[in-house]
Amino acid sequence: MSTHPSLRRRLPGWLVLFLAGPVIWYLTFWLVYLVAEAGCTTGGLDFRLLGLPGLSVITVTVSVLAAGTIAVLTTRAYMRWSDDPSGEDHRRSLMFAGFLLGILFLIATLFIALPALVLEPC
Amino acid sequence: MPNDVFGSLDPRGPVAAEMADVWWFMFGLGLVVFILFAVLLVSGLFRDKGSDRGMGSSSHRWIVGGGVVLPVVVVTVVFGVTLAAMRILPVGGSGDAVVVDVIGHQWWWEVHYPDHDVTTANEIHMPVGRPVELRLSSADVIHSFWVPSLGGKLDLLPDRVNTMEFSADEPGEYRGVCAEFCGTQHAKMGFLAVAESPAEFEAWLATQSQQAAEPVGEVAARGREVFSEVGCADCHTIEGTDAVGTTGPDLTHLATRETLAAATLPNTPEHLADWVGDPQEIKEGVNMPDLPIGEEDMAALLAYLEGLE
Amino acid sequence: MSDRTPGHVPYADTPTVEAPSTDVELDRLWDDPPGLWGRLRAVQNDAVGRRLILTGFFFLLLGGTVDSVVMRLQLAVPDNDLVGPQLYNELFTNHGSVTMFLVILPIFEGFAILLLPLLLGTREMPFPRLGAFAYFTFLLGGLLYYSSTLFSAVPDAGWFGYTPLSGPEFSPDLALDFWVLGLGVAEVGAIAAAIEIIIGVLKMRAPGMTLARMPLFAWAVLVMAFMILFAFTPLIVGSLLLELDRGFDTQFFNPGAGGSSLLWQHLFWIFGHPEVYIQFLPATGIVSMVLPVFVRRRIVGYTWLVAAMVAVGFLSFGLWAHHMFSVGLSPIVLSFFSAASMVIAIPAGVQIFAWLATIWEGRPVWKTPFLFVVGFLALFVLGGITGVMVASVPFDLQAHDSYFVVGHLHYVLIGGVAFPMFAGVYYWLPKFTGRLLNERLGKWNFWLLFIGVNVTFFPMHIVGLMGMPRRIYTYPAGLGWETYNLISTIGVFIIVGGFVVFVTNVVHTHFRGAPAGHNPWGGDTLEWAVSSPPLQHSYSVPPIVHGRHPLWDQKDLHGGDLDDERLVHALSEWPLRWRAALITGTSDADPEEVFRVAGPSIWPLVAALGTVAIFAAELLKLRLGALAGALVIVVAVIGWNWPEDAAITEEEELAFEERHRIPVRVGGSLALARWGTGLLILFLGIAFTSFLLAYFYLRLENLDWPPPGISLPAPGAAVVAGALVLAGAVSMYRALHGIKADDQRRLRVGLAVAAALGGIGVAVQALEVTGVVFDSQTHAYGSIFHVMGWFCLMVAVAGIVMALMTLYWAVRGRYTARRHVPVANVALYWAALAVIWVIGFATLYLTPLLT
């Protein structure tokens, strides 16, 4: 039983691994959306790299980086889940949920990058 | 108007055809998914469970197979088809397109052909087989341009110009509507897209770029005076006369149009009389007022309007 | 966990909670006071929950049923003149607004507030008075909205209220003000209830009910409540901007003066799409509770379902623009939203197959709640499939704003939301009335609704594909739409028949229902362990939980860790003079505190009346009335939080703390206070982010920023003010460190300095903002400059007031090294306010320099 709750609190590790995928996807989504909206409205970012328009390059780069981060954290959540042989820890199933969420949002993040490769952005 | 072609699944142009293809593909896929689901549900509910011991560990395979793999595959395929279609669909700017400016008003459509100095309303003429580039904007609230058998929707906004492109494969009169709720008479804000042979289209342009026909006969000439006296001219333009109002549709070639009151009525003398006589009855809330016009003056006015070819 | 074979559950004979002799005394202690005056002061979760649900159903009958019948009659035949365009537009505006704001949301919040304490094994919700406040704001907001009828100024711009149609130029009368302001009050209530639900789920579970053992309905409403916070806040900001345009001549949405017609759509749909899932998630939560009980098997894939609900919660915030596919977005932006809209099919698929697998494992018992669950599955899958279709941009450009979408959304909202709602009512109503609903009427109710929904809404898909747009009051003959529309109209009468049977059933049950007993369905969760109806405090001896299905797996609901066992039993014997409840750890559900739950009070009603007064004053353009409303709120908040009599001596308190090694908070829970502060900061942060988005969106829409003729104000004064506020925040933290070291002097000096520096900073900045050469009414630049500036100033003023109040209590020696959580909370608020201030004014003064 805990005593008086301490005032200093760090973000608990289970929460980070549980919500890493969705949170990273969400931030990525907003970032690429705002950059795309700004780029297309102002006509900025008007360069090409490797035959791709600048906006697409940025979109693909950002979402691939985000996908990589999600992949790393998802792997960690999976290991936390499978490493616990007793299965008694209540956080274990949250780690499994974190692993599932990670995979889903990995797909969602890659879906952001995909159209940038085939569509003219603006 | 019964003979107009209408409907998304009755495509008469490449854009609408592409969209209909996407629909039929998704419809087939959706049907398969639904049948699969229905079979699983019904057999799960009614199967014989006499010696049932549950499914044990196979349960999670259900979720992985049906809940993850199936939707991922379906969604990826649908997303691929979507992107492929988005790549094909024209966004405007083809070299040989006919440029048309469409400006939405509560509740009618102002139409310009900037390259030909033609202004009309509630009717878009287009040559068969040639793309039309529509530059859409609004004079008041947000409207949405939709000709289901030729293509999808695009909104008309007061603060930017949206561009879309479509074309018709065969001659016909294709009904269009406003698809974004825009106030009282949103329901009666229609128009016609008239696709015709290039020759007919050129002839139409030639007629429309003329000034208004002079009234023929005394009655019609009196009608032109009535038009100014009772206030029609405050809102409507008739090229070549002193009527230069811009609140309502340009009436220079009213008699050549198929419909009245934004595709609400066929353009016949009887309907014209009804409409001018009591616009609020035909289209309640419309900005055109019921004007007190005497019987004789009304006859003259109608005679004049019917002569505007 | 028991070692019985999973799947085999003894549903006939489930354990019940202990009924000690103190039952009666506790029941009386927790009961709301009698009489009308008592009812106005009622704060108990069962009163609040029941009122929310009943009021929601009342609005459903009013706005959901009557409106739809008239609309369908009008559309039954072409060129019909039963109602004119104006009335029709008012009807569909009302239908959408009422069902989206005043029906589904309050009903589910009511379900949550009514059920959570029972489901979680606790005695109350954490902030009963906040719950009462949420109800009164919802009720008064709804009435304010509906009162537009009395003034013949009925809103007519659609439930989405697109600008500029809803702006002052095209809707000059008061109709839209009723819409913005009435629903605005209800939105405040929605957020208040959301805060209550979040903290209730996270902090008030029975010992042993870890996050991973929580009933799925609790997970669903937890995600829902977070979504409400993230979705309704931008809507409130958007509504504020719209009302400023309408009432104070700002130019946010006026394209003629630098405003944007699309800004509203973004702000609205950032709320509007999540709103659909806010309604849908609790419905799936109900399905996940009801379905396993009626197939007599544990739910398959509990963790999968939790992950799916969290995923839906996040994804729903990345698809708002799929309502805007036709506004002319760039292809890449379209594809982002299309992608997210499709990915959401994956968690939906996971849910569907988890339920299917559970059905396959089990053996159905065909009672009415289960019928509604099966109906839900069929209708929702159809609505989900058409949902994926409209996520595809090329097809959506045809389907958007056509009757196809009307069909789709009603399959989702009636099949996906209303059916589980009915399942929930048939399932849980016996718990609260003690009587079972009639099964035969239940089946009629189900079949009429199921057939009616399909007859009404299936033809709409077809007629939509044939080109029939939404929101038209009539249509010409000869387009091939007649038959489908007539069928739809017939269908709506079948639905109405279903509703009539439902009401009949509820009334019939009230008089002649069969007694329900503790656990009529053989349910697995805690609510079925208490009597029907439950005692006011639900549990005399709070339960101890060892698994996800306590009633199926536990013989004894109060056994476990010896300390816990002694604690829960102690709570049935002591204290009997004040309402005690248990706070447990967020993830592990270990007991953390025993705290005093607030009792009946008139102040929530007064605060709600003050809130309504502010909005009504704006409606009547009585600006002084708003000030009076604000004063009423201030008085109400003081009365609301006025310390109650201690009720026990310090010795008793210490003795309990000693024996059970758990802090006793007779003055109110500190853990809850911290969570409340955290959520308040989150709310402000979301609101501030919405302002920032509006700022940058307007900036993108304007080539010249600031507009020609206006020069950017010099940053000198803002830099000084910013430095002062930052120094104030630093001083706040010095005060906090002071009290941690038990240094009362450092605490007081720190607080005083923080308040003083902050006050000077606010004064400098306020003078600067009022002194700029441009006003808020000429151009959107000035509008956003002034409004965002004043938002930051108000946030700071609130911080200064908190600092002064803390200083008052500090001087009276209330804080010690061990007990100083309020100081820590205020310091946290100051950190947040400093961040908001710096970002806010840097945006206003510096970012225009970057081009």
What pLDDT was estimated at residue C64?
82
Least confident of A10-19, A32-41, C154-163, C600-609: A10-19
pLDDT 10s digits, B104-144 = 999 999 999 999 999 999 999 999 999 999 999 999 999 99
Residue A88 pLDDT exceeds 80: no
Query: Using N-to-C axis directions, what is the helix angle for C331-343 and A91-118, rounded to 10°?
Result: 150
Q: Please enumerate residues of A whose Cβ is less than 8 A from a Cβ of B.
A: 107, 111, 114-115, 118-119
Q: Does C85 touch chain B (CB under 8 A)?
A: yes
Verify whether the Cβ–Cβ distance A29 to C333 is below 8 Å. Answer: no
**What is the reported pLDDT for A9?**
54
Decide if B79 and A111 are in contact by the 8 Å CB cutoff: yes
Residue A122 falls inside a structural domain: no
The residue-averaged pLDDT of C729-741 equals: 95
Residues B46 and B154 in one domain: yes
Read out DSSP for A24-91? HHHHHHHHHHHHHHHHHHH-----EETTEEHHHHHHHHHHHHHHHHHHHHHHHHHHHHHT-SS---TH
Q: pLDDT-derived band of residue C269, with 50, 70 and 90 as boundaries? A: very high
How many whole angstroms separate alpha carbon C121 and alpha carbon C207?
8
B137 plus B264 within the same structural domain = no
My answer on whether B83 and B166 are in the same domain is yes
- Res A93: pLDDT: 84
Q: Is the pLDDT of residue C293 over 70?
A: yes
Task: List the structure tokens of C830.
Answer: 């100051």
* A115 chain-B contacts, CB cut-off 8 A: 83, 86
- How confident is the prediction for chain C on average, in pLDDT? 93
How does residue C645 score in pLDDT terms, banded at 50, 70 and 90? confident
- Asked if residue C474 lies in contact with residue B190, where contact means CB atoms within 8 angstroms, the answer is no
Interatomic CA distance for residues B224 and A96, integer angstroms:
81
C509-514 average pLDDT score: 91
| A107 → closest Cβ in B72, B83, B86 | B72
Would residue A66 count as lying in a domain?
yes
C14 confidence band (pLDDT: 50, 70, 90): confident
How many angstroms separate the CA atoms of C315 and C277, rounded?
Answer: 10
Structure confidence at residue B50 as a pLDDT band (50, 70, 90)? low
- Pick C642 or C322 by higher pLDDT: C322
Tell me which fold the domain C693-850 belongs to.
Four Helix Bundle (Hemerythrin (Met), subunit A) (1.20.120)
Q: Which chain A residues have a beta carbon less than 8 Å from that of C266? A: none
**Average pLDDT for residues C323-345, to the nearest whole number?**
93
What is the ipTM, given to two decimal places? 0.96
Check CB contact under 8 Å for A114 and B72: no
Contacts with A119 from chain B: Cβ below 8 Å: 83, 86-87
Residue in A107, A111, A119 closest to B86 by CB = A119
With contacts defined as CB-CB under 8 Å, which chain A residues touch B79? 111, 114
pLDDT in tens, C805-819: 899 989 988 888 877
Which residues constitute the domain of residue B252? 218-306
Q: What is the count of residue pairs from A and C with beta carbons less than 8 Å apart?
A: 134
- Whether the pTM exceeds 0.90: the reply is yes
Rounded average pLDDT over A43-56? 80
Query: Is pLDDT at C654 greater than 50 in this prediction?
Result: yes
| B25 and chain C in contact, CB less than 8 A | no
CA gap B14, B9 in Å, rounded: 12
Residue A103's closest chain B neighbor by CA? Answer: B68
**Residue B146 belongs to a domain:** yes
> Does the pLDDT value for residue C604 go beyond 90?
yes
Rounded to an integer, the average pLDDT of C299-303 is 93
Burial class (CB in 10 A: 0-12, 13-18, 19+), B55: middle
Asked whether residue B112 is assigned to any structural domain, the reply reads yes
Nearest to C381 among B9, B34, B180 (CB): B34
| Signed CA dihedral, C257, C263, C268, C271: sign only | negative
**Residue C145: what pLDDT?**
95
Closest CA to C292 of B173, B250, B54, B234: B54
Kindly state whether residue A58 falls inside one of the protein's structural domains.
Answer: yes
* A76/chain C closest Cα distance in angstroms: 17
Whether B261 is in a domain gets the answer: yes
- Which of A86, A102, A78, A89 lies closest to A24 in space, CA to CA? A102
B-contacting residues in C 273-292 (Cβ below 8 Å): none
Higher pLDDT, C1 or C206: C206
Please give the tally of structural domains in chain A: 1
| pLDDT on residue A87 | 59
* HEC string for C736-753: HHHHHCCCHHHHHHHHHH
Q: Looking at per-residue confidence, does A72 or C576 come out higher?
A: A72
Candidate from A16-20, A42-46, C753-757 with smallest mean pLDDT: A42-46
Rounded CA separation C563/C660 (Å): 7
Q: Which of B81, B151, B284 sits opposite C85 (nearest CB)?
A: B284
DSSP string, C242-294: HHHHHHH---TT-GGGT--HHHHHHHHHHHHHHHHHHHHHHHHHHHHHHHHHH
Among chain C residues, the shortest Cα distance to A28 is held by C318
* Residue C266 C-alpha, separation from nearest chain A C-alpha, in angstroms: 12
* Whether the predicted pLDDT of B52 surpasses 60: no
For the segment B234-246, the average pLDDT, to the nearest whole number, is 93
Q: Report the C-alpha gap between C156 and C90 in whole angstroms.
A: 4
User: What does the pLDDT read at residue B90?
Assistant: 77
Chains that touch B (3 or more CB pairs under 8 A): A, C
Question: Is the pLDDT reported for residue C185 higher than 90?
Answer: yes
Size of interface B-C (CB pairs under 8 A): 263
Residue B55 lies in a domain: yes
Give the nearest partner residue to C211 out of A3, A94, A119, using CB atoms: A94
Look at residue A50 in the predicted model and tell me its pLDDT. Answer: 77
Residues in chain A closer than 8 A to B72 (CB atoms): 107
Indicate whether B284 pLDDT > 70.
Answer: yes
Of A29, A90, A96, the CB nearest to C210: A90
- The pLDDT score that the predictor gives to residue A86 is 62
pLDDT of residue A72: 96
pLDDT at B2 over 50: no
Partner-chain contact A119 C343, CB within 8 Å: no
Q: Is the pLDDT of residue C10 over 50?
A: no
Structural domain containing residue A104: 13-44+53-117
* Amino acid at residue number A54: G
pLDDT tens sequence across B173-196? 999 999 999 999 999 999 999 999
Question: Which band of pLDDT confidence, cut at 50, 70 and 90, is reported for residue C822?
Answer: confident
Is residue C367 classed as helix, strand or coil in its secondary structure?
A: coil
The string of pLDDT tens digits covering residues C57-81 is 999 988 888 899 999 999 999 999 9
Examine the domain organization and report whether B35 and B183 are in the same domain. Answer: yes
Residue with tokens 């697998």: C357
Q: Which of B87, B88, B159 to mutate to test the interface with A (most CBs of A within 10 A)?
A: B87
d(CA A84, CA A88): 8
Residue B273 lies in a domain: yes
- Mean residue pLDDT of chain B comes to 92
Residues 128-157 of B with CB under 8 A from C: 140-142, 144, 146, 148-149, 151-155, 157
Long-range interactions of B54-58: CB distance < 8 A, separation 24+: B54/C6, B54/C7, B54/C297, B54/C361, B55/C357, B55/C360, B55/C361
User: How close, in Å, is residue B73 to chain C by CA atoms?
Assistant: 10
* Beta strand pairing call for C580-584 and C591-596: antiparallel
Which of chain C's residues have a Cβ under 8 Å away from the Cβ of A101?
307, 310-311
Residue C391 pLDDT > 70, yes or no? yes
Q: Which chains touch C (3 or more CB pairs under 8 A)?
A: A, B
CA distance B152 to B51: 56
**DSSP assigned state of B156:** E
Residues of C in contact with B4 (CB under 8 A): 479
CA distance B176 to chain A (A): 27
Statement to judge: residues B120 and B57 lie in one domain: yes
pLDDT, residue A3, reads 35
Size of interface A-B (CB pairs under 8 A): 11
Chain A neighbours (≥3 Cβ pairs under 8 A) are B, C
3-state secondary structure at position C525: coil
Decide if B205 is inside a domain.
no
- Give me the residue spans of the domains in chain C: 368-512, 693-850
> Could you tell me if B183 and B228 lie in one domain?
no
Calculate Rg over the CA atoms of chain C: 28
Give the full edge-to-edge strand order of the sheet including B108-113: B118-121, B108-113, B98-105, B132-138, B162-166
Which chain B residues touch C703 with a CB distance below 8 Å? none
The yes-or-no verdict on residue B5 having pLDDT over 70 is no
Q: What is the CATH number of the domain that holds B229?
A: 2.60.40.420
CB pair distance less than 8 Å for A26 and C212: no
Number of domains in chain B: 2
Taking the C-alpha atoms of residue C730 and residue B208, their distance in angstroms, rounded to an integer, is 75
Task: With H, G, I as helix, E, B as strand and everything else as coil, classify residue B145.
Answer: strand
Same domain? B182 vs B55 = yes
- Residue A97 is assigned to a structural domain of this protein: yes
DSSP code per residue over A17-34: HHHHHHHHHHHHHHHHHH
Contacts with C672 from chain A: Cβ below 8 Å = none
Q: According to DSSP H, which parts of C2-84 are helical?
A: 23-30, 35-41, 45-59, 67-75
Phi, psi of B160 (to 5 degrees): -160, 165
Cβ contact C142:C60 at 8 Å? no
